[in-house]
Amino acid sequence: MPAQHDEADGEYQQKQRERPGDPGAQQEARRLVHDLAGDRIGLIAFSGQSYILSPLTIDGSALQLLIDALDPNMASAGGTELGGALRQGADLLRGGSDVADRVLVVFTDGETHDTLSRVLSAAARLRREGVRLIMVGEGGITPAHIPVRTPEGAFVEYQRTEPGGPLVETWRRDAVLTQVADAAHGALVPAQLGDQAGAVRELVQARPGEVESQGATLMGFSQGAYAAFSIARSDPGQWSRLLLIAAKGYPNARRLRRHGVERVLFAAGDYDMTHAAMSSAARSLARNGFPARFMSLGKVGHTFPSDMTKRMTEAMAFLKL
């Protein structure tokens, strides 16, 4: 779904990754349109090709209807061309106001059939043109089949590579999502986050001017945590607080300060293999006089707990001290 926060734009990947009956990305997109009422929003669906379903508009009701009508069977071209979708999103935003804060929000599992270099080139172009990119992870990491349904929603069969051919399998590519967000100096909202729309809203409404005057918090989960530090390093002083979840290996206090980072919160589930390393990293930084803390995510592994929203409130209370 492309949406423009009076300045923002987002995209929706036109493939059904969810379990039957799970609204998934469409539900999050609907909530985002509602939360950004008054902002100009556009809508793009993409698969092997991308389609502008709506130019930038403040008509949230019309956008909600378009989102509700999205269906995987609408796509005339198979596959997924993520790079083309990023380029079309940039073109759509270019038609907006020059003084607007342009944001491209992309709901996707990271699958792409164009080359990764082309996708990263399109992401880098967004950065050069002053467009903020927010990647929103969708789907699961376990390979799944893509259902084909009737207009009424009844299951027909699973999608095949060709008539009579093998079933298509798809899954979330976290490595691609991370690299694309990094190339654009953007943000990645993890698929495991319970309130994706809320996280996107906060990122969209954190205008560049506010970030420069107040500092900002950058969050990364798993490989996204490495990307988070990479982004903070590329824009010294812009990201003063880091929330790093379920990953290993972080720089020392001196490097963090050199890049303008003032406070770090590490977090991991009790059964996550990164738990011990992240807890140790927080203690090491604290011993060196750097404001750092470790927060347990409870009795979960490499994922988010069901009460993640509550834990995020606790995390932000520490980061904003």
pLDDT of residue 276: 93
User: Looking at the DSSP assignment, which residues form a beta bridge with residue 12?
Assistant: 45, 107
Question: With DSSP H G I counted as helix, E B as strand and the rest as coil, what are the percentages for the chain, rounded to 5?
Answer: 40, 20, 40
User: Looking at the DSSP assignment, which residues form a beta bridge with residue 44?
Assistant: 11, 52
Rounded (10°) CA dihedral 68, 3, 51, 17:
-50
CA–CA gap between residue 71 and residue 69 (Å, rounded): 6
CA–CA gap between residue 90 and residue 84 (Å, rounded): 10
Helical ranges in the chain per DSSP H: 24-35, 60-69, 82-94, 116-128, 174-183, 196-205, 208-214, 223-234, 253-258, 275-287, 308-319
> Checking phi first, is residue 24 left (phi over 0); if not, alpha (psi -120 to 50) or beta?
left
pLDDT of residue 173: 86
Structure tokens at 267: 């977090």
Instruction: Report the predicted TM-score, pTM, of the whole model to 2 decimal places.
Output: 0.63
Max Cα separation, the chain? 64
**Domains, in order of start, for the chain:** 8-205 (3.40.50.410), 214-319 (3.40.50.1820)
Q: Which of 35, 82, 90, 88 is nearest to 63 (CA)?
A: 35
Cα torsion angle, 137, 140, 141, 146, sign: negative
Mean pLDDT in order along the chain per 10 residues (321 residues): 46 44 70 85 81 86 85 58 89 73 89 84 90 88 81 82 82 85 83 80 66 60 76 76 84 86 92 93 92 93 83 84 65
pLDDT of residue 295: 94
On whether the CB atoms of residues 172 and 138 are closer than 8 A, the answer is yes
